[in-house]
Chains A and B, each alone.
Chain A
Amino acid sequence: MHIDDLSLRNFRNIADLRLTPGKRINLLVGRNAQGKTNIIEAIGLLSTGQSFRAQDFRDMIRWNAQDAEIAARATCGAGADALRVSIDSRRKSFTRNDKRVTAAAAGKFFTVLFAPEEILLLKGPPASRRRYIDSIIFQLSHTHRSNSMQYEKIVRHRNRLLQDARLSDSARREALRPWDEQLADIGSRIVMARSEWCRRINGLLPERYRAIAPEDAQARFVYVPHCGANAVEKGIDSVKERLRAQLEERRSDEAVRGITLAGPHRDDLEAEIGASRVKHFGSQGQHRSFVLALKLAEMDLLREASGGEEPVFLLDDVASELDAERNRFFFEVLGAARGQVFITATTDADVRLPGVGEISIFDVSGGIATPRK
């Protein structure tokens, strides 16, 4: 899969841009705050339906403009599709070949994003790791996306009941019942999906890690469900049962704290190398190598899931975050791969490495991208 042609209108600092990227490596070069990451963000949005950095989708509309538009011709397998995202003050809407589609359906092509924040993925709060794994699954499963949206709503409804001071204990119990039931039901499906996709990532990760750090022990990205790995082992019904039981156990705590204390919104993922946890014992280098391997495993997973088609790799300023050795390794891998890649950098010197192959360079300045001859 690759983008043949991209146009942006009133997207962030970009008034009007048309970009015809190469099928392989595309380098977006420019000083800070010129719009490089904005282009990456737009491609990600086309693919996943979500921005990786906007809190509010309205932030993506160019200041003083009414609406924004991203349009692209993308080739995935069978042929070319016209993809479009329109953003106005009320909504984001998506079309494929001029037919309305849901956000997820617009993503017939997959992207792997690697941004500087992600170097810290293993050190950050559990929420960032949940978001990470979910963002991968969202690309592959519309059901998981819709379950997650429903789940979030269930937790919010539930928290409101827990915080409602007018309810007596028995009335609250009664009112919570249908929400507990749904939390267990939808929650168990989320747990099973995360477990399944983590398992598949772990089938790919060790090899990728070994290639980066051959002398190191085996790398694993372990799913740590709040309901316990045992329940997951036994299947969805026991997860559901366990979630119900946990809600019962935490009932008095919940009443005091006013928040939902059991469920997959409290899951975590843990990086392990051999028997030790990277979060606590990993060196700087191990952190970086692990995340790098994870990204490559993600690429393998998406390729596998799409029947062998290469996903589009989006690399935002990563060269400046990796040391020279890992940089060389990474670009060698990308050079050997066949897919389309977008890389942003402040200087093309970062990326001019042997083995990278043919590069299309675009100079980005003030929201305008100019192909370099």
Chain B
Amino acid sequence: MTPIDRLVHELAKLPGIGERTAARLAFFILRQPHEYALGLSRAISDVKEKVRLCSECMNLTETDPCAICSDHRRNASTVCVVEDPSDALAVERTHSFRGRYHILHGALSPLDGVGPDDLKIAQLIRRLESGSTEEVIVATNANVEGEATALYLSKLIKPTGIKITRLASGIPVGGDLEYIDASTLTRAFEERREI
């Protein structure tokens, strides 16, 4: 394999990138100055070397605990459970939530072979058992996988006596949290219901 073939091959593994796009990207990189290629490859390796999971909330971070978990002004008694780091970002953008997060890294999806053990659920339960959490807000996506995850968590958490709520609809059915504008999401927080 030539270096170009190798690059195309690796790029084509990225989600949403086909062989043709991969080739276009590879030739683009080839035409750039040397510093660009170095910068890109360093950024890529840094992501792997420097970014890890926060041992508290499982979010991606460079420091452990992450900035949110170590911010004492934030209310540690409320934990908002989301599917992905990007969902936590979406909630942050609303500025209406001052608690902490827990990132599941996915949702239950038998069709994709994702079960409870593939998500950061055990870590959440451990955190709830050891900590001072009073309310868990489940903010998984409003699709069938997100709903199944919420129902599963509710079943697990109910016996602990901790209050568990689910974001209100207002989120369009089948909608992904990430794409919902801040005001809709703010309202969903205010109108959350117990599950």
Contacts and interface: CB of A to CB of B under 8 A. Distances in A.
A73 B155 CA distance: 52
Contact of A160 (B111, B149, B151): B111
Given A146-B174, A157-B111, A161-B110, A177 B152 contact: yes
Nearest to A185: B147
Given A146-B173, A146-B174, A182 B151 contact: yes
A146 B108 CA distance: 20
A175 B115 contact: yes
Interface residues of B, number: 18
B143 interface: yes
B111 A156 contact: yes
Nearest to A150: B144
Interface string B13-36: 000000000000000000000000
Given A146-B173, A150-B174, A175-B115, A157 B110 contact: yes
B148 interface: yes
Interface in B92-117: 108-111, 115-116
Contacts of B109: 157
B111 A182 contact: no
A149 interface: yes
Contact of A182 (B115, B148, B174): B148
A178 interface: yes
Contacts of A358: none
Contacts of B174: 146, 149-150
B121 to A, nearest CB: 12
A178 B147 contact: yes
A182 B174 CA distance: 14
A348 B109 CA distance: 54
Given A146-B174, A150-B174, A175 B144 contact: no
A178 B149 contact: yes
Contact of A154 (B115, B144, B149, B173): B144
Nearest to A171: B115
A182 B155 CA distance: 14
Nearest to A153: B144
B151 A178 contact: yes
A181 interface: yes
A82 B144 CA distance: 34
A158 interface: yes
A321 interface: no
B110 A181 contact: no
A177 B116 CA distance: 13
A177 B149 CA distance: 11
A248 interface: no
B110 A164 contact: yes
A160 B108 CA distance: 12
B151 A181 contact: yes
Interface in A175-210: 175, 177-179, 181-182, 186
Interface in B172-194: 173-174
A177 B110 contact: no
Interface of B: 108-111, 115-116, 143-145, 147-152, 155, 173-174
27 contacts: A146-B174, A149-B174, A150-B143, A153-B111, A156-B111, A157-B110, A157-B111, A157-B145, A157-B148, A158-B110, A161-B110, A175-B110, A175-B115, A175-B116, A177-B151, A178-B108, A178-B147, A178-B148, A178-B149, A178-B150, A178-B151, A178-B152, A178-B155, A179-B148, A182-B144, A182-B148, A182-B151
Given A143-B173, A164-B110, A177-B152, 6 more contacts: A146-B173, A157-B144, A157-B148, A160-B110, A182-B144, A182-B148
